[in-house]
Every structure is written in C-alpha cells, then in structure tokens.
Amino acid sequence: MATRDSLQQPTWTAVDDYLTDLLLGPDPALAAARAASAAAGLPDIAVSPPQGKMLFLLARLQGARAILEIGTLGGYSAIWLARALPPGGRLITLEADPRHAEVARANIARAGLAGAVDVRCGRALDTLPSVAKERGAEGFDLIFIDADKTGYPDYWDWALRLSHRGTLIVADNVVRDGAVADPASADASVLAVRRYHELVAAEPRVTATTIQTVGIKGYDGLSFALVVQDPAR
Ligand code: SAH
Ligand code: DHB
Ligand code: MG
C-alpha cells in the first residue's frame, strides 16, 4: 500500500493543482492566509483548495446562516465557510492553540470576514458548553469537525446536540490512509474515527456516508451526516 501511494501521490498532487488552477483560480485572500500560516510555523494541514471549495458549496446548499467549526488552525477552511454565509450569518470556530487562533484572526480579518467569524480559543470540550448555551435550541446549520482526531466521538455527541433537522455534520480525516477499515489498529486516531463511524451508524436521527479522498494531502476521507429528525434535547 505504501508503495502504491508513493507512486500515485505525484498524480494526486498534479490533479489537485490542475483543478485548483482551472476551477478556483487565483485567490489572494486564501493565498495570503496560507502564506501567513506557513510563516508563523503552523503545520500544513488545512483542507485542500478543492475541499475548501466543497465546504463553501455545502454551506451554500444548506443555506447555512450559522456554522460551527471545531479546529481552526490558520483559518483557511473558516474563510471558505464564512464566504458562504449570507449577510448577518455567523461562523463560530474553536481552536485550542492560542498561536493558531491569533494567526487565524489576522487571516480572517485580511479576508474581510472578521465581522462574520468568531474565533474562540480553548479546548473545544471546554468551550462547547458556552457555545451551546448561547445558541440555545437554534443550534447550527452546518458543523465541520476537524480538530484532534481522538476527540471525534465527543465532537459527534456535541454536534448532534447542536443540530436541528436539516443540519449537515461534516468530519475531516476519517479514513486515515485506509486504516479506518483495520479492526486490529491500535492507533488512537484510527480507533477514534472507527468509533466515530460506529456512533454515526447507530444514530437513528441521521443519514450518512463517508467518501474516500485522494489529493495533495494524500489518501483520507470525509464523513457527511444529515440530521433528518430533531435530536432530543
Ligand atoms: N480546519 C482547519 C484545519 C484544522 S487542523 C483548516 O482546514 O484550515 C486541527 C486544529 O485543531 C489545529 O489547529 C489544532 O491546534 C486544533 N486542535 C487540536 N486539539 C483541539 C481541541 N481539543 N480543541 C480545539 N482545537 C483543537
Ligand atoms: C492532521 C490534522 C488534520 O485536520 C488534517 O486534515 C491532516 C493532518 C494532523 O493532525 O496531522
Ligand atoms: Mg483535517
């Protein structure tokens, strides 16, 4: 598997570059956000440009007015999501690392989106209770889970609690080079994304799928769960 991946990675990268050039075009705000994140020493693990565009499209399809993101990094995916909001719409994004949060706030401001985005610093499990209190029964129209992978089972519970009928819950990095299908894996992140899928599968209030992805970030996958019934509160 490793050999096949190493042979195919250049193709996956070339195709992502091709699609990004052709379909997304030059994007000064996003380019500046990536450059500033790299200059600040943040890890290069934001979603790819085509994936960012997909998040934007999903938010548009949802008509999302309120979006929650767990895991901000330098604000790259946050910028894509916030661009999809209508006037008066709001994105709350949760980030544990104050350095990342600071870089993200600057990137989001440079993209002209400071008024729509609230970067909350703190570990998500510590900040989610106050987010829940503020949003009340309204919850969010789209929730993007992309923080520490071991937290995914807890983030799933919170996402459901913060959902209403029609909410879309998206989770990044849930395939992990295919290890998600390995029942013998002892890797904590793999165990967590396996548990995540089990929770999704066992939840009668959602209908869901996971799509494997290849691209500049290698081989991974994204989970999509649509809440079809109001979760009990
Ligand atoms: N969504 C971003 C990438 C996020 S990378 C993008 O695509 O642009 C994961 C981020 O989650 C990192 O910045 C990391 O600091 C943050 N993180 C890790 N553990 C966390 C936690 N417990 N609570 C909130 N954020 C966390
Ligand atoms: C990592 C985190 C991510 O959200 C991602 O998309 C890729 C890698 C990481 O922690 O290594
Ligand atoms: Mg990710």
What are the CA-CA distances from residue 167 to residues 175, 196, 205 (Å)?
A: 22, 17, 11
Q: What percent of the chain has pLDDT over 90?
A: 94
Q: For ligand 1, atom 22, which residue shows the shortest CA distance?
A: 123
Residue 1 clears pLDDT 60, i.e. is over it = no
pLDDT digit string, tens, across residues 37-84? 999 999 999 999 999 999 999 999 999 999 999 999 999 999 999 999
Domain count, the chain: 1
Residues with CB under 6 A from ligand 1: 45-47, 71-73, 76-77, 94-97, 100, 123-124, 146-148, 151
Using CA positions, which residue lies closest to atom 3 of ligand 1?
Answer: 46
| Confidence grade of residue 2 (pLDDT, cut at 50, 70, 90) | low
Q: How far apart are CA 51 and CA 200, in angstroms?
A: 22
Q: For residue range 150-183, list pLDDT tens digits in order.
A: 999 999 999 999 999 999 999 999 999 999 999 9
Residue 176 domain flag: yes
Within a domain: 221:
yes
CATH of the domain at 39: 3.40.50.150
CA–CA gap between residue 183 and residue 150 (Å, rounded): 16
The residue among 96, 92, 105 whose CA lies nearest residue 162 is: 92
Structure token digits, residue 103: 């870089």
189, part of any domain: yes
Q: Is residue 233 part of a domain?
A: no
Joined together, the tokens standing for residue 47 give 């979603």
Going from the Cα of 75 to the center of ligand 3, the distance in angstroms, rounded, reads 12
* DSSP state, residue 70: E
Residue 123 belongs to some domain of the structure: yes
Residue with tokens 């029942």: 183
- Other C-beta atoms closer than 10 Å to the C-beta of 142 total 27
pTM tops 0.85, yes or no = yes
d(CA 186, ligand 2 centre) in Å = 18
Ligand nearest to the CA of 215: 2
- For the beta carbon of residue 202, count every other beta carbon within 10 angstroms: 8
232 part of a folded domain:
no
With respect to residue 204, please indicate whether it lies within any of the assigned structural domains.
yes
Looking at residue 119, its pLDDT comes to 98
User: What's the domain range around 91?
Assistant: 4-227
Beta strands in 23-146 (DSSP E): 66-70, 90-95, 117-121, 142-145
Model confidence at 124: pLDDT above 70: yes
Question: Residue 7 — pLDDT band, cuts 50, 70, 90?
Answer: confident
Residue 233 has pLDDT above 80, yes or no: no
pLDDT digits (tens, 9 = 90+) for 82-109: 999 999 999 999 999 999 999 999 999 9
Work out the average pLDDT over 129-148.
96
Burial label for 4, CB within 10 Å (0-12, 13-18, 19+), is: exposed
3 compared with 135, residue with greater pLDDT = 135
**Residues with Cβ within 6 A of ligand 2?**
45, 146, 172-173
Higher pLDDT: 2 or 53? It is: 53
pLDDT interval class at 231 (50, 70, 90): confident
